[in-house]
Chains A and B, each alone.
Chain A
Amino acid sequence: MESKTNNNKGTRIHKHLKKVGIGIILIALLTGLIIKLLHIEMMPTQKAFFKAFTMNGFILGLLFVAFAKEKIEDEMIAQMRLKAMAQTFITAVFYVIVKPFIDLVFRDPIQDVTGQFLVLFMLLGYLLNYHSQKFNNK
């Protein structure tokens, strides 16, 4: 149900896509686990393909879960989403700034934060923040 007291309607996807997202995450995780546990011999190109498949599948699944509509998408939910997004964005900026210094102290050499990792970090951070707010407002 789309509440009329919610002005933020542009960034939501259909609620049924949440289940699709969970399915994609499970498939991606299972693929990654099977390859890792069975020690399947692969060419470097195949290995890169499955790594990309697992990571991108996980990201796509998280995207669906994060932005699928709630049963009742009202103004409080919109405010919680906005707060979670803002806090996650600020945390991600600080993470990118601080990470080279952590690398410098604990490991050598300094590694750049990849786009994939940053997106994954932000999606997980957003979900964690959003659901903790929802839990506190129950």
Chain B
Amino acid sequence: MKNTLKVERAKLNITQQDLADKVGVSRQTINSIESEKYVPSTLLAIKISEIFKTTVNDIFTLENGD
């Protein structure tokens, strides 16, 4: 699963730590999501999309084989 988390973060000019604090996870979790090592739960994906005032589908997109 691809994501545009880094781009969205850059648009709002917030750090990984800021985003992690807002959604209640560790900075390592945000880093793992950005580097596509970890796929977040629905709950976390919705929380992240709410921070960026967009939809989950705009941030997370399926790849071939997903």
Q: Interface of A with B (CB < 8 Å)?
A: 1, 3-5, 70-72, 74-77, 79, 134, 136-138
Contact = CB atoms under 8 A, between A and B. Distances in A.
Contacts, number: 46
B24 interface: yes
Interface string B7-28: 0000000000000100111101
A14 to B, nearest CB: 18
A77 B26 contact: yes
Interface residues of B, number: 16
B44 A75 contact: yes
A-B pairs with the 9 shortest C-beta distances? A74-B25, A72-B26, A76-B29, A5-B44, A3-B24, A137-B32, A5-B43, A75-B41, A76-B38
A2 to B, nearest CB: 9
A74 B26 contact: yes
A4 B22 CA distance: 12
A133 to B, nearest CB: 10
Contacts of A4: 24, 43
B17 to A, nearest CB: 11
A3 B20 CA distance: 11
A72 B25 contact: yes
B58 to A, nearest CB: 20
Contacts of A134: 28
A75 B25 contact: yes
**Max chain B CB contacts within 10 Å: which of A74, A79, A138?**
A74
A134 B29 CA distance: 10
Given A74-B26, A137-B38, 7 more contacts: A3-B25, A5-B23, A5-B44, A75-B29, A75-B44, A76-B38, A137-B28
Most buried by A among B25, B43, B47: B25
